Chains A and B, each alone.
Chain A
């Protein structure tokens, strides 16, 4: 088992993204969805990247997804897996795969969100095998 033990820098929190990080601290993963074009997007923005509407609202993700791609960084003092995970709601997000055998990861593998502490900031959404 590996993927924990790496020191994770705190994400900078802006007024635009504070609800996302408050939810993360409460163990909930949020996306944004546009009320005009109905498209969900990630990372979350005030202005919809698809249609340009400012009528975007927060949407709680189910927390389930699948690995789209990944890479284990072997050169790091503590090897870790960076990944793109496609959420069940549609958008694909950058993350880490944690609490997993890094030599047994595979594309298409089902994963579930969890939240990993950072250095002095809110926790970040990571994923572990479902």
Chain B
């Protein structure tokens, strides 16, 4: 069974806040839920499927269904870190195709800034029962120094440079200047990036994404309901998901799970990378984008540095416009989980509702990709391909 054409993204919402001192976590989830439902032209009473992940408080889906007063016949709390919400769209399409729900609501929210969280620079301990913790946590693995090891290896093996990585941040900043909600709206240069303080060799401060509060939500529904609504229709063409881990010690940091999730999504969608007009690529760090673009087939393995250089990711300038909201590098990385906002900006592009300065012309096919966890140890990859239905 395929999900192609069986489900539509009817509503999306990105919370405008970037620092939520005055709101609770559950409140943020509910605000984004109602935002996406209003965008779709639906109400809470229409929702019969709910999807959330580890950022939801308490018992996750149970606590949030209780708080929001949802009446559900389908629930899915798949946890693959920041890629969860891209996985959720695929799972929602599957559930809709199987008749398990009609209107699926996906929410994400968090307040790491208000809580003063050292998101990328403090080692995270997932508890003594995690089988890996004894063999990793003592060595001080942070998010940034683990992604940095992938960058270091890529540079060693393929000759990738810091200046090439910097172009990814430059492109994001060129887009973010047009987003009034973006945390960082200042346009930066390659020189700005490579001269910013080194955090973990070879990643500089400006190679790293922002820390923000807020969240977002997505509403997925069946074709009959989508056609009854007033919004431009965005059809789900294909989805792929994968988990990459350490393979018992056969570690290779030069690729991500996108080498599996990408081909699965392209096959289901029956499109090729060359057909894609816009991409939202998870940008926890510049290196995440570079490796993912290679893995998805937008360029050959090892050629990512050349591909992203000289503005190739800048809308209106390069061949493959990416993250036109400013992405996680400049705009927003709510709850330290960037997958949901990747889908939101892709839907804006397909609807023709991106900022005019960054709107891609004739944007009929878009791709959103999430990466959750760590490139160095274990992560979830999710690829989603969508089409504007004319």
Q: Point out residues on A near B: beta carbons under 8 Å.
A: 6, 8-14, 17, 21, 39-43, 45, 48-50, 68-76, 80, 82-84, 86, 90-96, 107, 118, 124, 126
B148 is an interface residue with CB less than 8 A from chain A:
yes
B248, A41: Cβ atoms closer than 8 Å:
yes
Most chain B Cβ neighbours within 10 Å, of A21, A45, A69: A69
Interface-side segment among B9-17, B99-107, B195-203, B257-265: B195-203
Once A49-B247, A49-B248 are accepted as A-B contacts, the answer to whether A43 and B153 lie under 8 Å apart by CB is: no
Q: With A and B bound together, what is the CA distance between A43 and B247 in angstroms?
A: 10
Q: With A and B bound together, what is the CA distance between A85 and B100 in angstroms?
A: 47
Q: With A and B bound together, what is the CA distance between A40 and B152 in angstroms?
A: 26
B131, A82: Cβ atoms closer than 8 Å:
no
Which residues of B sit under 8 angstroms from A39, Cβ to Cβ? 248
CB distance from A74 to the nearest CB of B (A): 5
B153, A68: Cβ atoms closer than 8 Å:
yes
Once A80-B140, A107-B152 are accepted as A-B contacts, the answer to whether A41 and B249 lie under 8 Å apart by CB is: yes
Jot down 12 A-B pairs with beta carbons below 8 A, ordered by A: A6-B140, A41-B248, A48-B248, A70-B201, A71-B145, A71-B151, A82-B146, A83-B149, A91-B250, A107-B156, A118-B138, A124-B138
Q: Point out residues on B near A: beta carbons under 8 Å.
A: 121, 125, 128, 131-142, 144-146, 148-153, 156, 197-203, 246-251, 253, 376-377
B199, A94: Cβ atoms closer than 8 Å:
no
- Look across to chain A and name the residue whose beta carbon is closest to the beta carbon of B142: A73
A9, B135: Cβ atoms closer than 8 Å:
no
Which residues of A sit under 8 angstroms from B141, Cβ to Cβ? 82, 94
Q: With A and B bound together, what is the CA distance between A120 and B326 in angstroms?
A: 45
Q: With A and B bound together, what is the CA distance between A11 and B136 in angstroms?
A: 9
Q: With A and B bound together, what is the CA distance between A14 and B135 in angstroms?
A: 12
Partner of A12, one of B128, B202, B248, B249: B128
Q: With A and B bound together, what is the CA distance between A10 and B202 in angstroms?
A: 28
B140, A73: Cβ atoms closer than 8 Å:
yes
A93, B249: Cβ atoms closer than 8 Å:
yes
CB distance from B146 to the nearest CB of A (A): 7
Q: With A and B bound together, what is the CA distance between A126 and B135 in angstroms?
A: 11
A43, B200: Cβ atoms closer than 8 Å:
no
Which residues of B sit under 8 angstroms from A92, Cβ to Cβ? 246, 249-251
CB distance from A63 to the nearest CB of B (A): 16
A71, B152: Cβ atoms closer than 8 Å:
yes
Q: With A and B bound together, what is the CA distance between A69 and B139 in angstroms?
A: 14
Q: With A and B bound together, what is the CA distance between A22 and B125 in angstroms?
A: 23
A90, B201: Cβ atoms closer than 8 Å:
no
Most chain B Cβ neighbours within 10 Å, of A13, A43, A70, A91: A43
- Look across to chain A and name the residue whose beta carbon is closest to the beta carbon of B146: A82
B138, A75: Cβ atoms closer than 8 Å:
no
Partner of B152, one of A12, A42, A70, A75: A70
Which residues of A sit under 8 angstroms from B131, Cβ to Cβ? 43, 45
Which residues of A sit under 8 angstroms from B156, Cβ to Cβ? 69, 107
Which residues of B sit under 8 angstroms from A21, Cβ to Cβ? 134
A86-B251, A94-B136 given. 9 additional CB < 8 A pairs?
A45-B131, A71-B200, A74-B200, A75-B200, A92-B249, A93-B135, A95-B139, A96-B140, A107-B153
Partner of B140, one of A12, A48, A82: A82
Which residues of B sit under 8 angstroms from A11, Cβ to Cβ? 133-135, 137-138
Which residues of A sit under 8 angstroms from B146, Cβ to Cβ? 71, 82
Which 5 A/B pairs are nearest by Cβ-Cβ distance?
A: A91-B249, A12-B128, A11-B134, A71-B148, A41-B248
Most chain A Cβ neighbours within 10 Å, of B140, B141, B156: B140
Which residues of B sit under 8 angstroms from A69, Cβ to Cβ? 149-150, 152-153, 156, 253
Which residues of B sit under 8 angstroms from A107, Cβ to Cβ? 152-153, 156
CB distance from A122 to the nearest CB of B (A): 9
- Look across to chain A and name the residue whose beta carbon is closest to the beta carbon of B134: A11
A71, B248: Cβ atoms closer than 8 Å:
no
B139, A91: Cβ atoms closer than 8 Å:
no
A71, B249: Cβ atoms closer than 8 Å:
no
Most chain A Cβ neighbours within 10 Å, of B134, B152, B376: B134
Q: With A and B bound together, what is the CA distance between A61 and B253 in angstroms?
A: 23
CB distance from A30 to the nearest CB of B (A): 12
Which residues of A sit under 8 angstroms from B132, Cβ to Cβ? 43
Q: With A and B bound together, what is the CA distance between A124 and B140 in angstroms?
A: 12
Q: With A and B bound together, what is the CA distance between A78 and B243 in angstroms?
A: 34
B134, A12: Cβ atoms closer than 8 Å:
yes
A74, B199: Cβ atoms closer than 8 Å:
yes
Q: With A and B bound together, what is the CA distance between A50 and B144 in angstroms?
A: 29
B149, A71: Cβ atoms closer than 8 Å:
yes
